[in-house]
Structure 1
Amino acid sequence: MKLQILSDLHLETEAFEPEPAPGAELLVLVGDVDSTWAGLERFRGWPVPVLYIAGNHEFDGRELSQAWPALRERCEQLGLTMLERETRVLTDAQGRRIRFVATIRWSDLALFGPLSSAAQRERVLRSAEYFMRVMRSTRNGVPFDAAGVREEALACRAWLAAELAQTTQDWDTTVAITHYAPSLRSADPRYGSQPGTASFCNADDDLLAGAALWIHGHLHARQDYRVTHPDGRSTRVVCNARGHARKGEAEGFDGTLTVDA
């Protein structure tokens, strides 16, 4: 199945007009499309089915417990399929069955190992708190802080690990989709291995073998690399995030990029 991938369009501030990719059978939107949700309208009536995975900025200034069902309802109105801790099996033009396993997978902040060191914990949490203040979100009526994000993240990871571990072969291949990156290998080269990177990447390298293709967003740096596993199989990891033009992040972005599942 040929997949068109778009993420981090930030249509709340960016001037970008998405267009269908020739030959694509499915569009995968990997979050941070528009913090106001208005930009989702551009995908109404898209010529192929659309899978949508929320990004962190879709929750800016919102209460999570209310935003999740409201965002799902909005997607249903537009004809988009929103997935959160959900799986879909779709059949392509050749009759192959592709399993899509999807979740936002918030950052659990343990990218550089367990948060057992007081100094390390302080640096990572301090950086994470900055990003959460930018979001200005709440969860169950209280600020959605670093501790709350970590709690949500661990629930996402538990679901993802269980889903990818399934051995029932009612599909021919598996595609994992997360907004947050699954590995430090996806880190933005401008920032590298600094505490803030733990708010963008997770240490999910041990889960990669469960998917032939892993699609993510969140980092405003395109990525396309392959991880080879001990049994000889490999996982391709792809991020096609546009980012902010004012920061030069959109330079070289290909909005009609497609990959094969």
Structure 2
Amino acid sequence: MRIHLLSDLHLEFQDFSPAMNDADVVVLAGDIDLLARGVEWANQNFRCPVIYVAGNHELYKGHLNRTLEKMREKALPHVHVLENDEVVIDGVRFLGTTGWTDFYSTDNVTTAMLAAQISMNDYKQIRTGNQYHRIRPIDLQQKSQFAKQWLLSNLSTKHQGKTVVVTHHAPLPECAPGIKYELGHLAAAYVNDWQEFAGCNIDMWLHGHTHVGYDKTIEGIRYASNPRGYPFEETGFVSDLILTI
């Protein structure tokens, strides 16, 4: 299977026309555009199956849960919006969830949560609850803990073919080397330290969010990210990247 991986296109800042290729599946690992606009863009630009996992920016000006419902409503049948969901395409199992972070990766949860709440627009732009109040770090931590357990549970179910995990947030600090030195405790809002997945039956883990492009194997699992990033940002983006599994 040939997978065309894209993330962090940030179409809210600059348009992007995808490269013509013969991919079997397109994976959009979040931060494509605000709200359901990224889904509409995927509907129009791709004819093959699309795996779409929301990033934090999809939820800007939206609701933590209801925006996902609207994204699913907008999606054509070939665009699969996954949030703690799985889909099997040509024998390959895709497990998708935004992932968020549990704030443990820098070893001081309280400081990491405070750094995130002060520095990140998520806590000003995203609403939750019946009263549409601003999200708090604890809201995202709970989402992350649920996502982690959901992944572990589903990965414990045997699958005869290959398995690809798609998240927006990075599962390991090694996915963005140097981020702790650059961001300090704020790094815990970008990467998890999910060592529990090392022995799981995962062939490939695809993500976005860190704006660091790479493709490498860690403890037997292939990890990759291909973010375009913000205008004029150097991320290592490859517009026609194809990953074969």
TM-score by length of 1: 0.84
Partner residue in 1 for 2:79: 80
By how many angstroms is 1:18 displaced? 1.6
2: distance between equivalents of 1:102 and 1:148?
19
Contact 2:190 2:209 in 1 (8 A): yes
In structure 2, the partner of 1:55 is 55
Distance apart, 1:16 and its partner CA:
2.1
Instruction: Within 5 Å, give how 1:41-120 maps onto structure 2.
Output: 41-45=40-44, 46-76=46-76, 79-91=78-90, 97-113=91-107, 120=108
Unaligned runs of at least 5 residues, structure 1: 92-96, 114-119, 229-233
Residues 124-145 of structure 1, C-alpha deviation per residue, up to 9 Å, x if partnerless?
1121113255552111032211
User: Which runs of no fewer than 5 residues in structure 2 stay unpaired?
Assistant: none
1:213–1:237 contact (8 Å) kept in structure 2: yes
The residue aligned with 2:234 is 249
How far does residue 102 in structure 1 lie from its aligned partner after superposition? 1.0
Paired position in structure 2 for 1:187: 176
Amino acid at match of 1:13: F
What is the aligned counterpart of 2:144 among 153, 176, 179? 153
Q: 1:13 to 1:145 in 2, by over 3 A?
A: same
1:208/1:29 CA distance change after superposition, 3 Å: farther
Contact 1:111 1:198 in 2 (8 A): yes
Q: Distance in 1 between matches of 2:124 and 2:197?
A: 28
> 8 Å contact 1:184–1:201 — kept in the other structure?
yes
**Could you say if the C-alpha distance between residues 23 and 244 of structure 1 is closer, same or farther in structure 2, counting changes exceeding 3 Å?**
same
Q: Distance in 2 between matches of 1:63 and 1:41?
A: 18
Supply the AA of the counterpart residue of 2:137: A
RMSD: 2.0
Structure 1 residue ranges (4+ consecutive) displaced by more than 4 angstroms after TM superposition: 132-135
Q: Figure out how many residues of one structure are paired with residues of the other and give that number.
A: 239
Matched, 1:202 2:192: yes
Identity value in percent: 27
Does the CA-based 8 Å contact 1:12-1:34 persist in structure 2? yes
Q: Offset of 1:249 from its aligned partner?
A: 2.5
Flag the 1:50–1:147 CA change in 2: closer, same or farther, 3 A: same
Deviations 1:181-210 (A, max 9, x none): 010001264664621110011111321432
